[in-house]
């Protein structure tokens, strides 16, 4: 009887361990409930100067996010880190970012250029939280913007609409080092963006409203800028778990908070 019981328990235990490894291992196929990040977006009465210096008032009163993780969600450590912080007022959503890198590089200088093929910071938004009318705004260390819209996620046939533009978008970039000079050691580059509500087809949110959002940082390995086979290392606030980064079911949530 004991031998028969053991013969039943051992496979069951092995199955349990395997299931735990699949659920909690370094590279799950899908995120577990509650693992997607959330953060508060605080109301501000003081407009940032949008010079790219995110340490100034009112940013100094706004906390940074946790450092970004690898977009695959596999827990892979990165040599450099990225953080983001958020604010809002009656006209704009404000986004600040700090992007660490020992060599700040940016080659593209025209609007809607293929910034996804070089170092960039990216903002992704789903204001209604329904997987429709998705917005992506990318910038590089030149401060060039690529702004696109998708009517629906790529898995449902959505494609980038480059004719969507946000002409009233404002912002700035500041480099803590020397742009496009590999001979010295840089520290980082910082970004400020001000995205008007009307560009997103929505009115000013009410306190307590929640949007789906994500923030990405693409990092090219040093010395690979001219290599057509180079691999872009993508870090994210919310990992996409090897899905397309424009699949909003994997994004985190931002909640608009007004305490003043």
Distance, in Å, from the CA atom of 155 to the CA atom of 95, rounded to the nearest integer, reads: 27
pLDDT in tens, 169-180: 999 999 999 999
In terms of C-beta density within 10 A (0-12 exposed, 13-18 middle, 19 or more buried), how is residue 179 classed? middle
Q: Say if residues 90 and 186 touch (Cβ distance below 8 Å).
A: no
| Residue-range definition of the domain harbouring residue 185 | 38-257
Residue 26 is assigned to a structural domain of this protein: no
Q: Say if residues 69 and 144 touch (Cβ distance below 8 Å).
A: no
Percent of the chain surpassing pLDDT 90: 72
Q: What is the pTM of this model?
A: 0.84
Residue 53 is assigned to a structural domain of this protein: yes
Residue 13 is assigned to a structural domain of this protein: no
Residue 20 is assigned to a structural domain of this protein: no
Residue 174 is assigned to a structural domain of this protein: yes
Q: Say if residues 220 and 234 touch (Cβ distance below 8 Å).
A: no
Q: The domain that contains 253 carries what CATH number?
A: 2.60.40.1190
pLDDT of residue 75: 82
Please give the torsion angle defined by the CA atoms of residues 182, 188, 212 and 202, in that order, rounded to the nearest 10 degrees: -90
Return the exposure string of 82-102: e unless at least 16 CB atoms fall within 10 Å of the residue's CB, then b.
bbbbbbbbeebbbbbbbbbbe
- Based on the structure, what is the number of domains in the chain? 1
- Whether residue 25 has pLDDT greater than 70: no
Residue 200 is assigned to a structural domain of this protein: yes
Residue 161 is assigned to a structural domain of this protein: yes
pLDDT in tens, 188-229: 999 999 999 999 999 999 999 999 999 999 987 655 555 556
List residues bridging with 191 in a β-sheet.
97, 173
CA angle 165, 239, 140 (to 5 degrees): 40
Residue 5 is assigned to a structural domain of this protein: no
């Amino acid at each position: 009887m004991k031998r028969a019981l053991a013969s039943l328990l051992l496979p069951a235990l092995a199955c349990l361990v395997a299931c735990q490894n699949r659920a909690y291992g370094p590279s799950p196929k899908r995120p577990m409930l509650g693992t997607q990040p959330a953060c508060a977006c605080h109301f501000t009465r003081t407009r940032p100067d949008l010079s790219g210096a995110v340490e100034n008032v009112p940013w100094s009163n706004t906390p940074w996010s946790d450092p970004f993780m690898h977009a695959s969600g596999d827990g892979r450590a990165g040599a450099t880190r990225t953080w983001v912080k958020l604010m809002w007022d009656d006209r704009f959503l404000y986004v600040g970012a700090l992007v660490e890198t020992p060599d700040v590089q940016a080659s593209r200088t025209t609007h809607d250029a293929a910034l996804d093929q070089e170092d960039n910071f990216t903002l992704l938004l789903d204001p209604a939280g329904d997987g429709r009318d998705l917005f992506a705004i990318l910038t590089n260390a030149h401060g060039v913007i690529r702004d696109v819209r998708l009517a629906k996620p790529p898995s449902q046939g959505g494609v980038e609409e480059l004719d969507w533009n946000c002409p009233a978008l404002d912002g700035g970039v500041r480099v803590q080092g020397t742009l496009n000079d590999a001979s010295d050691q840089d520290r980082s580059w910082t970004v400020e963006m001000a995205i008007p509500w009307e560009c997103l087809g929505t009115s000013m949110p009410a306190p307590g409203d929640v949007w789906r959002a994500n923030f990405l940082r693409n990092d090219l390995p040093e010395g690979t800028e001219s290599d057509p086979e180079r691999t872009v290392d993508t870090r994210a606030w919310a990992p996409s778990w090897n899905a397309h980064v424009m699949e909003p079911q994997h994004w985190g949530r931002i909640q608009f908070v007004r305490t003043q």
